[in-house]
Amino acid sequence: MQTSHKRKKAFTLTELLVVVIVIGVLSAVVLPKFSKVVETRKTTEAEELMSAVRTEQEKRCALDKSYVTSLTAVKDIVPSGTSKNYAYSLTSTGMEAQSKGKYGYTLKMPSYADGRICCENEAECAKLNKDYPLCSALMARADYRSGAECAGEPEEKQCTGSSTQSCGCNNGGTQTRTCDTSTGTWSGWSACSISDACECTGTKPEESQTCNDCGTQTRSVTCDTATGQWKTGNWNTCSKTEAECTTCPEGKVLENGVCVCEESWEKDLCSGEVTCGDGSTSVLTWNEDTCQCEDSCPKETTEFYNLVCGRTDYWKASTNVNTHPTLEAARNACEKYGQNVSFCVAMPGSSNCSDPNKPCEITQGWGKCFSCSQEKCTNGGLGTCSTCDCTCYIG
């Protein structure tokens, strides 16, 4: 049994590529022209609306009224001042329509009295399949009517934003700009009232100082023009060490940056106790400042002191804590060393019952206390006793 195979017809790869290339070429040629046709059809909307506004404006001019320059006055024709394809604006004698599409052109009717529409330049006119004249050429024609007799006051357009702003060093200055009320756009910013670079004020910090008593050290001091503040660096190493600047007095040597006494037999033997001239004892200590062995014994005074006596009661005299063991020691401490002494003697009372025919004679106890004073002992003065055997000791 025989089987027959029929070959199916199909396009070759080369044929498909040719078709794709042809379609691409046609698209590149046709689509721009098609888009231009579509954009041109949109101009019909602008032409009709501008014509309607012109009719209303000419009615006003016929009644000796000025043209209106605010879109709110023609809101019945242009409700929002804009449409799907154009944004409209009024001038003192005419009207403009700004395209919203990618072509970005503006159609103008410079004069309601003339009524013709034009393009600002040839590049804009070339974007449309319309025979619009150039505005400059239109207004140069002999038959052009400007409509100046009915020109209205241009509507002032407000600019958004502030007319001033901070600038310069630390935003301490100002710069301004001016609003063009005919277009609602700002001019460029003026120059700032102050420089962007800040100047440092006040006393400049020191760049050098004394160190270790005889050396110097320095640091960098610069002006930060961004903030207007002085900027200081770290201090450099001192030019002299502490040891180089230390001069020890006679009898001392420098050890680890400190002046200490030289080693001597006196320092080694400075220990124990000594008996002072007033009978007290004192521990010997070494004075590193004077490099001498010293005691804490009282020093003899050059002033004149008196040990004076005063009468007191028995109880006070008997309970007093004496500063010295004997009256002689107290007087020596007062008169020789000017020490503040306190020494009291209690005199007990007595009873005399020798005569049985008489009552006993009872004498109350009393006391006498001695103190050191620079006052002289005179009759009725400090330390005198009007009774008993209290005497005033004078050195």
Token pair recorded at residue 297? 């014994």
Closest CA to 308 of 282, 288, 287, 334: 334
319 within some domain = yes
Range of the domain at 280: 251-294
- Please list, in sequence order, all residues whose beta carbon lies within 8 angstroms of the beta carbon of residue 336, skipping any fewer than 6 positions away: 277, 278, 300, 301
What is the sign of the dihedral through the CA atoms of 193, 196, 197 and 200? positive
Domain boundary among 259, 294, 329: 294
Adjacent-strand bridge partners of 166: 174
* H helix runs in the chain, sequence order: 13-62, 122-125, 135-140, 242-245, 265-269, 314-319, 327-337
Domain count, the chain: 4
Distance of alpha carbon 136 from alpha carbon 274, whole angstroms? 126
CA distances from 13 to 16, 21, 23, 24, 25 (A): 5, 12, 16, 17, 19
The pLDDT profile of the chain, 395 residues, written as one tens digit per residue, is 455 555 666 678 787 788 888 777 766 665 555 556 667 778 888 888 999 999 998 998 888 888 998 888 888 888 888 888 899 989 888 999 998 877 788 999 999 999 999 998 888 888 887 888 999 999 999 899 988 888 877 667 788 889 999 988 888 889 999 888 777 788 889 989 888 888 888 899 999 999 888 889 999 999 988 888 899 999 999 988 877 787 888 878 877 777 888 877 777 888 888 888 777 788 888 888 888 888 888 888 888 888 888 778 888 888 999 988 888 888 888 888 888 888 998 888 887 787 778 778 777 888 888 888 887 655 443 344 433 344 444 33
Same domain, yes or no: 36 and 145: yes
In a domain, 354, yes or no: yes
For residue 395, being part of any structural domain is answered with no
The reply to whether 121 and 180 lie within a common domain is: no
Is residue 314 in a domain?
A: yes
Pair 150, 66: CB distance under 8 Å: yes
Does residue 383 contact residue 308 with C-beta atoms inside 8 Å? yes
Place of tokens 């052009």: 144
* The predicted structure's pLDDT at residue 253: 81
CA–CA gap between residue 259 and residue 251 (Å, rounded)? 10
88, β-bridge pairs: 97
**Residue 332 located in a structural domain:** yes
One-character DSSP codes across 263-323: P-HHHHH--SEEE-TTS-EEE-EEETTTTEEE--PPPPPSS--EEEEEEEEHHHHHH---S
In a domain, 246, yes or no: no
The answer to whether the beta carbons of residues 37 and 45 sit under 8 Å apart is no
* Last residue in a domain, options 135, 150, 165: 150
